[in-house]
Chain A
């Protein structure tokens, strides 16, 4: 079983967690100023890298907290987890080519 390190609870089984998609996506401060293309870009377009990827996860059947994780989409290994509002210590742009 894949184990995930919750920043609050420690190492716990994957089945207690849910993934919430890519992390660190900033919502446009003035959505009404965007045209449809830019708004669709914000809503739907994600980086989808092969390699390190920052993701939002929730410990749904545990402490109930959202946090962030850097996961390698190639190996499915969790490289690190950190609390919401913090930045990863791994650069997430060094994805595999």
Chain B
């Protein structure tokens, strides 16, 4: 468990104001807990989304689990849930060798929603984001312009969550605002 005195307050580099555009609305997401989990041979387990196929995610409220590779998951939770989540990982994986890294400060999320959200993302993301190729529950690491992002689509709604590294956040946010304006 982390020493509470070591947990620094998280600033929000993008502020909180959404950019209003009825067809593609860009809004910085609230700060939250993110853990990068690496573990091998855990696909048979059902909790924490460990049983997901590669590039699939599950979400409930602020909690999400996205399987980004054969042995890699990105776990998200509300700001106060770090120790709950760590406890659930310990309960699910027992003595199994694993790596859990708290990347909550590293990651910043921006949400983009609306009927033109996918085409705005496609201004810088080369993936096919059609419903057939990127349906509800899709999640993957990819590119947006010059930045690496994790793109999450929790539900069938045209709402995408873009997770990027903090130092890229102003670039990613600016890119999306610009793309939404012209989508």
A interface residues with partner B (beta carbon < 8 Å): 1, 8-9, 12-13, 15-16, 61-65
Interface contact B141-A62, CB-CB below 8 Å = yes
Interface contact A15-B141, CB-CB below 8 Å = no
* Those 9 A-B pairs whose CB atoms lie nearest each other, nearest first: A63-B69, A13-B126, A61-B143, A61-B148, A64-B69, A8-B54, A62-B141, A9-B55, A15-B126
Cβ of B87 within 8 Å of any chain A Cβ, yes or no, is no
Interface contact B140-A9, CB-CB below 8 Å = yes
Among B69, B126, B127, B143, which residue has its beta carbon within 8 angstroms of that of A8?
Answer: B69
Which residues from 61 to 101 on chain B have a C-beta closer than 8 Å to any C-beta of chain A? 68-70, 72
Q: Is the interface of B mostly helix, strand, loop or mixed?
A: strand
Interface contact A61-B72, CB-CB below 8 Å = no
Nearest-CB residue, chain A, relative to B125? A13
Interface contact A8-B140, CB-CB below 8 Å = no
**CB contacts between A and B, total, < 8 Å:** 37
- Known contacts A16-B126, A63-B70, A65-B70; decide if A9 and B143 are in contact (CB<8 Å): no
Distance of B1 from chain A, by nearest CB (Å):
28
- Residues of B close to A8: CB separation below 8 A: 54, 69-70
- Known contacts A13-B127, A16-B143; decide if A63 and B148 are in contact (CB<8 Å): no
Q: CA separation between A12 and B54, bound complex, in Å? A: 14
Q: CA separation between A1 and B122, bound complex, in Å? A: 14
- Known contacts A8-B54, A16-B143; decide if A65 and B126 are in contact (CB<8 Å): no
Sample of 14 A–B contacts (CB below 8 Å): A8-B69, A9-B55, A13-B127, A16-B126, A16-B142, A16-B143, A61-B141, A61-B148, A62-B140, A62-B142, A63-B68, A63-B70, A64-B68, A65-B70
- Known contacts A8-B54, A62-B141; decide if A1 and B69 are in contact (CB<8 Å): no
Q: CA separation between A78 and B140, bound complex, in Å? A: 23
Q: CA separation between A16 and B143, bound complex, in Å? A: 7
- Known contacts A1-B126, A9-B54, A9-B55; decide if A64 and B72 are in contact (CB<8 Å): yes
Q: CA separation between A62 and B138, bound complex, in Å? A: 13
Distance of A24 from chain B, by nearest CB (Å):
21
Interface contact A63-B141, CB-CB below 8 Å = yes
